[in-house]
Amino acid sequence: MNILKNYINGVWVESVSSETIEVTNPATQEVLAKVPFGEATKTDVAAATKAASDAYNQWRNVPVMKRVQVLYKLKSLVETNIDELAEIITIESGKTRAESIGEIQRAIENIEVACGTPMLMAGDFIEDIASGIDEMMIRQPVGVAACITPFNFPSMIVFWFLPYAIATGNAFIVKPSEKVPLTMMKIFEFIDQLDLPKGLLSLVHGGKDSVDAILEHPEIKAISFVGSTPVARYIYSKGTANGKRVQAQGGAKNPVLILPDADVEMSAKIIADSVYGCAGQRCLAASTIITVGDEKGEIKEAIYESVTSRTTGFGLDQGVHMGPVITAESKTRIERLIAQGVSEGANLLLDGRNPSISGYDNGNFLAPTILENVALDKELIKTEIFGPVMSLISMKTIEDAIKFVNSGKYGNMACLFTSSGASARKFRNEANAGNIGINIGVAAPMAQFPFSGWKDSFFGDLHGQGKHAIEFFTQTKVVIERWPKKWSRKF
């Protein structure tokens, strides 16, 4: 069985660790590869960091216009190979081919925005801030930076950070999720073709041990993390305690409101896409749907119709809308949450447990599930499920619904469906979440905008993507200069 190599100092090398874990296809349980794991991966991180430090000292002196040239080539390589990449993403993560293509397009958009770094990292200059004195603020790279990423977007999430990090002059280490390392193996085949100093970009595998090595290494100055909230909190507290800059995006529990004046058919379809896209394994998946003043039950009916028309199966097969969840443990956990909801009084409107998927008896499949009348103090309402499960609840007024939105501990996304500008404006202003959707089901910021989680969905100050990423990967330096006129020479 293929044991995955690290990419360190511009070459593919075996991990120092002899411990491995298996990477599996969640639709079939086929073992795809083995990935290095365990304590010894700390040595791999040390080797990658040493190479990164050396490369950084060269790269920071390359003019920014030249640095972004490699991004044009990287974009072209990703675009040319999009079908092959999408297939790898589907095989290791379970999402459908269309979803895999969609996430690669989001990755490409980030490369494109980072190509604007020559403008985005421009500083400020004031001549004669006092007589004969000029002052400027310049941006310089932070040094060696690293990202630690989750399983659910094997390509896109790395690109919220990597293109900005290198365009601004840093060296960068990628530690992908051990559940989906194959996509980054392919991306690093492209990176190997770029004209970069050896060691500038490294790929290091592993789990908690390699992450701890990143958190502890004094030469790593900045860490970008995306994953579950407990780990995000840990990364933020340990990383900042060690003097690093940290941006840590965590989990979510996203509420969506529908008002009686919404376009019911359109809203129902968009909401179903949000809840069940990527099998509910998106940090921007709608989870709790609140119908407001739906006295005749029209909205509920439309949602039910839209959900039941979806097909579950292997993501590379034709006509499949939803793939499996990532692991058997994840499937069992979701089934437990559904059973618990029912035992606590929720009505199971649609039961997606144990679907029969012909030809894929061993896959981690769950079909769409809807529970209604879930009590607000129950786990189903409070916990991130990260699976294809909708909790459908009803409230009388928009005020009650916004109060509910703001009572949650997460703040990744909140959405509203309405045709009223006044209601939309009120919601946009009052809902406590970093990403707001109005008649949008997955309010994913485009690459120009920061990926803006709040509350327990984010730890730090500057988010991923766009100008925030440029700021995160640079430190400001303010220079004040005196040039007395009497020093002027005549030539």
Q: Looking at the annotation, which residues are catalytic? A: 283
Position with the least CB separation from ligand NAD? 227
Distance of closest approach, residue 153 Cβ to ligand NAD, in angstroms: 6
Distance of closest approach, residue 150 Cβ to ligand NAD, in angstroms: 3
Q: Identify whether the C-beta of residue 23 lies closer than 8 Å to the C-beta of residue 32.
A: yes
Q: Which is nearer to ligand NAD, 336 or 477 (CB)?
A: 336
Q: Which is nearer to ligand NAD, 149 or 312 (CB)?
A: 149
Nearest residue to 56 (alpha-carbon basis) of 181, 178, 146, 187: 146
* HEC assignment per residue over 3-60: ECCEEECCEEECCCCCCEEEEECCCCCCEEEEEECCCCHHHHHHHHHHHHHHHHHHHC
β partners of residue 174: 147, 203
Distance of closest approach, residue 134 Cβ to ligand NAD, in angstroms: 41
What phi, psi does 232 have (nearest 5°)?
-60, -45
DSSP H or E segment with residue 134: strand 133-141
What the block records as the tokens of 168 is 């601004």
Pairing label, strands 410-411, 454-455: antiparallel
Distance of closest approach, residue 260 Cβ to ligand NAD, in angstroms: 31
Residues that bind ligand NAD (CB under 6 A): 148-153, 175, 177-178, 207-208, 211, 226-228, 231, 234, 249-252, 283, 384, 386, 412, 451, 453, 457
Strand order in the sheet with 389-395: 347-350, 369-372, 389-395, 286-292, 254-258, 413-417, 435-438
| The residue type at 3 | I
Distance of closest approach, residue 209 Cβ to ligand NAD, in angstroms: 8
Return the SS3 of 460.
Answer: coil
| The residue type at 242 | N
Give the whole-angstrom CA distance, residue 423 versus residue 254: 19
Give the whole-angstrom CA distance, residue 385 versus residue 108: 29
Q: Which is nearer to ligand NAD, 214 or 289 (CB)?
A: 214
Distance of closest approach, residue 91 Cβ to ligand NAD, in angstroms: 17
Q: Which is nearer to ligand NAD, 26 or 141 (CB)?
A: 26
β partners of residue 254: 286
Instruction: Name the DSSP letter for residue 179.
Output: T
Q: Which is nearer to ligand NAD, 250 or 408 (CB)?
A: 250
Q: Which is nearer to ligand NAD, 252 or 374 (CB)?
A: 252
